[in-house]
Amino acid sequence: MKKNIILPQIKSNLVTETIKCAKPTEKIFQNFSEMTDTSLLNSSLTQDAARFSFMGMEPFLVIKGKGTKLTLKTKNGTFSLKQNPFDFLKKIFDNVRVKNPTSFPFSSGGIGYFAYDLKNILEDLPTFSKDDLLLPDIYFVFYRCILARDNSHPDKVHINVLDIDSPGHLKTKEIISMVKDGLRRIRLRDKKIYTKKPVHALTSNFSRTGYIKAVKHVIDYIHAGDIYQACLSQRFKTKCYLPPYELYLKLNRLSPSPFSAYLNFENCKVISSSPELFLRLRENILETRPMKGTRPRGKNNAEDLALKKDLMKSPKDAAELAMIVDLERNDLGKVSVPGTVKVVERKKLETYPTVFQTVSVIKSRISSATGPIDIVKAAFPGGSITGCPKIRAMEIIDELEPTCRSVYTGATGYISFHGTMDLNVAIRTMIMKKNNVYFQTGGGIVADSDPAKEYEETLHKARAMMEALGA
């Protein structure tokens, strides 16, 4: 890596400023949402896993990659490189350290996504499914400016700017001035928030019959002893003429989540309302929260109560979650101090606008020599969206699903220059490419799964995204 060309001279200090601004985070980002390669990571619920929201702007390095072919966009031009994307990111985080003078877990670093198909970089896997979207496997953006908000103190916005004094880069005071100007221009939308556009029908890469047949194939593999569980999904597609950020606002209103995201990237827009934490790193404490077991919300409180009880008492769902907990414990164990991997909560219920989910919380301690990319490589992709054992489950998924997953069931989030990380599992996530929108939903298949009910579960999980699209 030609550090003097690819990376500017980053000073170890961060310029920070706090200003009063009580406008909602979604309104604040609205004035920056059309700038190429800006990002919003928005905690729009109040679960214990969610508290902070972050906005990234003024990128100084954009990394896009397909396999080992990387494209690097900087202020000095665009460069091509052939290298393992994880190894390249590791070099950056090993070489750049910035002090964090704030109380926020993220004040400098990068935001982006790791597509599920990066599994092929980590493991020698067959590839049968079709890559029809042709999107980057990795899209990661390093920012000069991170806006941060603590949702427990929503009357303030914190501006954090990396101090870079190199040709082609804005001065720090110019960036702060630009941000303040954007905050002053925030305006409330009209009461008719969303644009009326023609509604288009959804198509899927599976028919109902085809999906049920694929579920039966998974069950056959389980009975044959190949796997204990595999996560099978179907992908929906439709036309959408809403502005991308408007679609995000609709989805966030219908399905607020602790890890929602809007990534305004050049190749595509990523619009997410993910409820699942993949990896969190804070002061050498590593955490993951696998999510297994789902019920739809009822029509009233009585139905909700009955569905919650059914989920919590279900032996099938309990077994499904237990298998994934063991898998995730093993993944964390690869990079954790021996004996420190603990299941903090075995099974707890979380409530969302359209579904109930059961979740486990697993924590461990890592050594100071272990970096965030080491952790991602050890755990990616998340076991809750592959199956158990992971490698054989991924082989079966690739055999049975007709198209590559791309961003779906990969991860989105941030990795900082000061040793912290938050990545979600990219579920309840839409990809917008030109006027086409793609989204995918699935479920874990075990020996006693009912194929027809598994198909219905994918529709329950898709409900908020379908409503947001008006489809």
Q: Which of 246, 238, 237, 239 shows the shortest CA–CA distance to 195?
A: 246
Task: Quickly count helices (H) and strands (E) in the chain.
Answer: 12, 22
pLDDT of 191 reads 43
**The residue type at 13:** N
Opening angle at CA 231, ends 225 and 236, nearest 5: 145
> In the structure encoding, which two tokens stand for residue 275, read together?
């409820």
Phi, psi of 6, rounded to the nearest 5 degrees: -70, -45
pLDDT per residue as tens digits for the range 398-453: 999 999 999 999 999 999 999 999 999 999 999 999 889 999 999 999 999 999 99
For residue 275, say if its preceding peptide bond is cis, omega within 30 degrees of 0. Answer: no
Q: Could you tell me the end-to-end alpha-carbon distance of the chain, in angstroms, rounded to an integer?
A: 46
> Tell me, what's the pLDDT at 49?
64
The CB-side HSE value for 268 (13 A sphere, CA atoms) comes to 26
The CATH number of residue 283's host domain is 3.60.120.10
**Number of structural domains found in the chain:** 1
Render pLDDT for 132-161 as a digit per residue (tens, 0 to 9).
Answer: 999 999 999 999 999 999 988 888 999 999
Q: At what angle do helices 372-379 and 315-333 cross, to 10 degrees?
A: 140
The encoded tokens of residue 456 equal 């219905």
Q: Where are the beta strands (DSSP E) in 247-337?
A: 259-264, 269-274, 277-282, 285-288, 291-296
- pLDDT for the residue numbered 146: 97
Tokens 């305004």, residue located = 264
Nearest of 35, 44, 58, 270 to residue 160 by alpha carbon = 58
- Could you give the CA distance from residue 242 to residue 253 in angstroms, rounded to a whole number? 15
Pick out the chain residues at pLDDT < 70. Answer: 1-5, 12, 45-49, 186-199, 471
Composition of the chain by helix, strand, coil, percent to 5 = 30, 35, 35
Q: How many CA atoms lie within 13 A of 190 on its CB side?
A: 3
User: The pTM is what?
Assistant: 0.93
Q: Which domain holds residue 23?
A: 3-469
The predicted structure's pLDDT at residue 317? 87
- Cα 237 to chain center, whole Å? 20
Residue 350 near residue 290 (C-beta atoms within 8 A): no
Tokens 């590593």 sit at which residue?
286
Contact between 375 and 279 under an 8 Å Cβ cutoff? The reply is yes
Rounded to whole angstroms, the Cα distance separating 326 from 322 reads 6
* Angstrom distance (rounded) from CA 166 to CA 170: 9
Cβ(262)–Cβ(245) below 8 Å: yes
The DSSP secondary structure of 233-253, one letter per residue, reads: EEEEEEE--S-HHHHHHHHHH
